[in-house]
Amino acid sequence: MEHPAAYWVEAGLCAVLALALAAPIPAALSRTRWPRTAPAAALALWQGIGLAGGMALLTTELTVAAAGSDQHGHWRAAVPALVRASVFRPADVSVTTGCGLGALVLTAAWLTGVLIRSTQRVLSARRAHRAVLDLLSETAPPPVPSAIRVLRHPDPVAYTVPGLRPRVVLSHGAIDALTPTELGAVLAHEQAHLDQHHDLVVQPFLAWRNSFPFLPTARRSLSTVERLTEYLADDRARAERDALGTALETLGHESAGIADRRARLARSAPTRSVPVTALGALAGVAIALVPPLLLVLVG
Amino acid sequence: MTRVGELEGAVMAVLWDAKDGATGREVLDALPGPALAITTVLTVLDRLQRKELVRREREGRAHRYFAARSREEFLGGLMADALDRSADRGAVLTRFLGQMPEEDTDRLRDLLRRRRR
């Protein structure tokens, strides 16, 4: 299609998609119950939604720019011609096109900038924590595996420092408060966080929340995704799920998150089948591809 | 722990004991065991300073080194990271209790403080 109206229709569709992905779709997904039984599938779907949101925004701006220009015809020719025209003959560019391209560049720069800055902050905080941890921590006493680091503190904590040089950490308070089986369950949970690289899965949503701090769905999406990674780590210790439940009871206190996880552990095993997870991944990829496909198919 | 780690630990121990900090030479003299080369000690101090575990002030042509924080303050910082969730931190650590909203974090800290008795 070569009619300029086609680009405006596309821009409209992309804008609607971007708005839907910004608020109502994530809000609706956060309210559903099926992720509790298929957290891996849900996480894959969330990654797709996150990616699609950014791409929909960028594609909207690109198609607006194209709609306001005199470049029509197939997008593969139109878009590069549009960019060349703006760079080499800026005076000929319409206001619409100028705004569209300007918005596109600013949005891309901003999204990239926030992602890089938030990643840098996390990495440097981790490096600082690791430096002090390596200085102050001790080797774990048997029967805890010796690779586990232990802090000499009576408050019970159990955590990992993710990254290229990961650490799993307990405090003396945690070792004293838990039975050996409970400790094993907690350590399996922590190791799952490292093995499945949950820090990487969560990072884009942290950046999204930092990009749009005023957007309630950005905050809720972050906590939903974090909760899903807790479900996945809990599932790794499912063999000792009673011990995990009592450990949660001992170390935690009654909050919505802890009660939710304990209730989930008490129920039947989640759907961990490969087809379901693959379906979630496929759905995520499909959503992420919609904006560029809109551009390709309609243009 | 590695030899480097042990040496860094030994140097930090000297600095924690030195109320008014120490020069490289003073650290060398205070280290237990066979004497090391001064360059080794200065290299370790430099590395500790880059890790922000140690700070230094110019004293003539040399530096006077200080532990950036006391042992207790360092440990408190680690525990605060483990228990806390400030707006920026998010994915720095992954915790057994997961990410908690701020109100829950405060209540948890109170509970843990009371449990310590």
Least confident of B40-44, B68-72, B75-79, B93-97: B93-97
Give the pLDDT mean for B52-77: 94
Instruction: Report pLDDT for B73.
Output: 95
Judge whether A39 and A228 are in contact, CB under 8 Å: yes
Judge whether A296 and A14 are in contact, CB under 8 Å: no
For residues B85 and B117, which has the higher predicted lDDT (pLDDT)?
A: B85
Give the model's confidence band at A298: pLDDT under 50 very low, under 70 low, under 90 confident, else very high.
low
| Euclidean distance between CA atoms A147 and A167, whole angstroms | 8
Give the model's confidence band at A187: pLDDT under 50 very low, under 70 low, under 90 confident, else very high.
very high
Q: How far is A293 from chain B (nearest CA, A)?
A: 33
* Residues in a beta bridge with B65: B22, B56
Q: Predicted ipTM?
A: 0.83
Query: A56 pLDDT exceeds 80?
Result: yes
Among the ranges A14-23, A167-176, A205-214, B100-109, which has the highest mean pLDDT value?
Answer: A167-176
Q: How far is B92 from chain A (nearest CA, A)?
A: 5
Tokens of A122: 């996390």
Query: A197 pLDDT exceeds 90?
Result: yes
Give the model's confidence band at B14: pLDDT under 50 very low, under 70 low, under 90 confident, else very high.
very high
Residues 6+ positions from A139 with CB-CB distance below 8 Å: A146, A149, A150, B1
Query: B55 pLDDT exceeds 90?
Result: yes
Judge whether A211 and A114 are in contact, CB under 8 Å: yes
A125 touches chain B (CB under 8 A): yes
Instruction: Report pLDDT for A1.
Output: 44
| Euclidean distance between CA atoms A199 and A197, whole angstroms | 5
Helix H or strand E encompassing B26: helix B24-30
Question: 């399996």: which residue's tokens?
Answer: A188
Q: How many CB atoms lie within 10 A of CB B42?
A: 18
In tens, the pLDDT along A261-283 reads: 888 988 877 666 777 888 888 88
* Residues in a beta bridge with B62: B59
Instruction: Report pLDDT for A272.
Output: 65
Residues 6+ positions from B95 with CB-CB distance below 8 Å: A157, A158, A159, A160, B82
Instruction: Report pLDDT for A127.
Output: 94
Instruction: Report pLDDT for A274.
Output: 75
| Euclidean distance between CA atoms B43 and B65, whole angstroms | 13
Average pLDDT, chain A: 86
Instruction: Report pLDDT for A72.
Output: 64
Pick among B92, B100, B114 to test the A interface (most A CBs inside 10 A): B92
Q: What percent of chain A has pLDDT over 90?
A: 36
| Euclidean distance between CA atoms A298 and A242, whole angstroms | 55
Query: A73 pLDDT exceeds 70?
Result: no
Question: 């003396």: which residue's tokens?
Answer: A172
Give the pLDDT mean for A194-206: 92
Query: A11 pLDDT exceeds 80?
Result: yes
B73 touches chain A (CB under 8 A): no
Give the pLDDT mean for A170-194: 94
Residues 6+ positions from B30 with CB-CB distance below 8 Å: B14, B17, B18, B22
Chain A residues near residue B88 by CB distance under 8 angstroms: 118, 121, 125
Least confident of A34-43, A289-298, B20-29: A289-298
Nearest CB to B97: which of A154, A209, A258? A258
Q: How far is A253 from chain B (nearest CA, A)?
A: 7
Give the model's confidence band at B58: pLDDT under 50 very low, under 70 low, under 90 confident, else very high.
very high
Q: CA angle, corner B85, sides to B47 and A270, nearest 5?
A: 115
Q: CA angle, corner B105, sides to A47 and A37, nearest 5?
A: 40
Give the pLDDT mean for A95-121: 89
Query: A291 pLDDT exceeds 80?
Result: no
Judge whether A217 and A22 are in contact, CB under 8 Å: yes
Helix H or strand E encompassing B96: none
Residues 6+ positions from A288 with CB-CB distance below 8 Å: A47, A48, A51, A52, A55
Whether residues B104 and A227 touch (CB distance < 8 A) is answered with no
In tens, the pLDDT along A20-45 reads: 988 899 889 888 888 888 899 999 99
In tens, the pLDDT along A121-177 reads: 889 999 999 999 999 999 998 889 989 999 999 999 999 999 999 999 999 999 999
Query: B117 pLDDT exceeds 50?
Result: no
Tokens of A167: 């650490």
Instruction: Give the N- to C-terminal CA distance of chain B in Å, as an integer.
Output: 33
Give the model's confidence band at B100: pLDDT under 50 very low, under 70 low, under 90 confident, else very high.
low
Judge whether A86 and A71 are in contact, CB under 8 Å: no
Pick among A135, A221, A231, A262 to test the B interface (most B CBs inside 10 A): A135
Judge whether A152 and B75 are in contact, CB under 8 Å: yes
Chain B residues near residue A154 by CB distance under 8 angstroms: 116
Nearest CB to A226: which of B9, B77, B98? B98
For residues A95 and B8, which has the higher predicted lDDT (pLDDT)?
A: B8
Nearest CB to A159: which of B71, B88, B96? B96
Least confident of A17-21, A208-212, A241-245, B35-39: A208-212
B2 touches chain A (CB under 8 A): no
Pick among A117, A159, A197, A225 to test the B interface (most B CBs inside 10 A): A159
